[in-house]
């Protein structure tokens, strides 16, 4: 079996990466950087985002500050590599989104949307399933269920615990009691509206700026494939986001 290992860029993590490679090779795995069968992500949830881009099943090893979605403790690496060969794991599928604008196309694991670029409000309309609404503020984000534990939760305080839904988060809306909407997993168009003068706003995907829009431009966010994670231990995102739980 061919294995690729990616990690958090941290000197504290590099020895763990070397150890994982040594263990994998001793168990008969081939380290393959270009065409692996499985990707091992060693780090936090940000490392998991990078691993998703390879389009291969993922093993997640904790080595980050939060690591809500990582299930393997570093001391369990040899154990889970043996279990992987034996097929002793379960498959967890995470729904991805695709954000499209002009020639830009990007798959996202957590969220995508339109955010202000200058320190002033923007007006964005969201259209989905024959309905629409308009919000003025700092922008709008569309989050997956797994994305709802991150940036979106900081904005709305909402945890989306069902698989076939999306959260529309209104970022600092002006004169609105509504901060988020839970909608079916569907295609959503975001349109930047004109305030009567030139403006631009950022297109964001998983925390990165991937382009800019101006009034009248449309960003389309649609359901995409599922990312596959091989799980060896149960995870509980609520335990990470609610530290008072016992």
Rounded mean pLDDT for each run of 10 residues along the chain, 246 residues in total: 94 94 98 96 93 96 84 96 97 97 96 96 97 97 94 92 94 94 97 96 97 98 98 81 57
Task: Supply the pLDDT for residue 244.
Answer: 56
Task: Supply the pLDDT for residue 68.
Answer: 80
Non-local CB neighbours of 98 within 8 Å, separated by 6+ positions: 105, 106, 107, 108, 221, 222, 223, 224
| Alpha-carbon torsion (195, 200, 204, 210), positive or negative | positive
* Burial of 110 from C-beta contacts in 10 A (0-12 / 13-18 / 19+): buried
Angstrom CA distances, 104 to 123, 154, 244, stand at 22, 27, 42
- Residues 44 and 8: beta-carbon distance below 8 Å: yes
At 147, phi and psi to the nearest 5? -70, -20
User: CA-CA distance, 180 to 156, in Å (whole number)?
Assistant: 6
Which listed residue (32, 37, 45, 206) is catalytic? 45
Task: Supply the pLDDT for residue 239.
Answer: 66
Instruction: For 161-218, write each residue's pLDDT tens digit.
Output: 898 999 999 999 999 999 999 999 999 999 999 999 999 999 999 999 999 999 999 9
The number of residues in the chain equals 246
Task: Supply the pLDDT for residue 229.
Answer: 98
- Residues 114 and 202: beta-carbon distance below 8 Å: yes
Task: Supply the pLDDT for residue 240.
Answer: 63
> pTM to 2 decimals?
0.91
Q: Is 45 a catalytic residue?
A: yes
């Amino acid at each position: 079996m061919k294995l690729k290992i990616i990690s958090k860029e941290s000197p504290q993590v590099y020895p763990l990466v070397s150890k994982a490679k040594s263990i994998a090779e001793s168990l008969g795995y081939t380290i393959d950087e270009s065409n692996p069968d499985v990707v091992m992500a060693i780090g936090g949830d940000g490392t998991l985002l990078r691993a998703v881009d390879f389009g291969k099943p993922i093993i997640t090893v904790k080595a980050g500050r939060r690591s809500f979605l990582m299930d393997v403790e570093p001391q369990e690496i040899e154990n889970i590599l043996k279990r992987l060969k034996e097929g002793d794991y379960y498959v967890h599928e995470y729904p991805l989104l695709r954000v499209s604008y002009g020639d830009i196309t990007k798959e996202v694991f957590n969220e995508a949307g339109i955010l202000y670029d200058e320190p002033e409000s923007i007006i964005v309309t969201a259209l989905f399933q024959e309905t629409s609404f308009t919000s003025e503020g700092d922008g709008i984000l569309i989050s997956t269920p797994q994305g709802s534990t991150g940036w979106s939760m900081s904005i709305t305080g909402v945890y989306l615990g069902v698989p076939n839904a999306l959260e529309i988060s209104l970022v600092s809306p002006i004169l609105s009691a509504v901060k988020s909407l839970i909608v079916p997993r569907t295609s959503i168009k975001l349109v930047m509206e004109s305030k009567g003068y030139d403006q631009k706003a950022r297109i964001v995907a998983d925390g990165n700026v991937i382009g800019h829009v101006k009034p009248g431009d449309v960003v389309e966010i649609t359901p995409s494939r599922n990312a596959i994670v091989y799980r060896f231990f149960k995870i509980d995102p609520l335990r990470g986001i609610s530290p008072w739980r016992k």
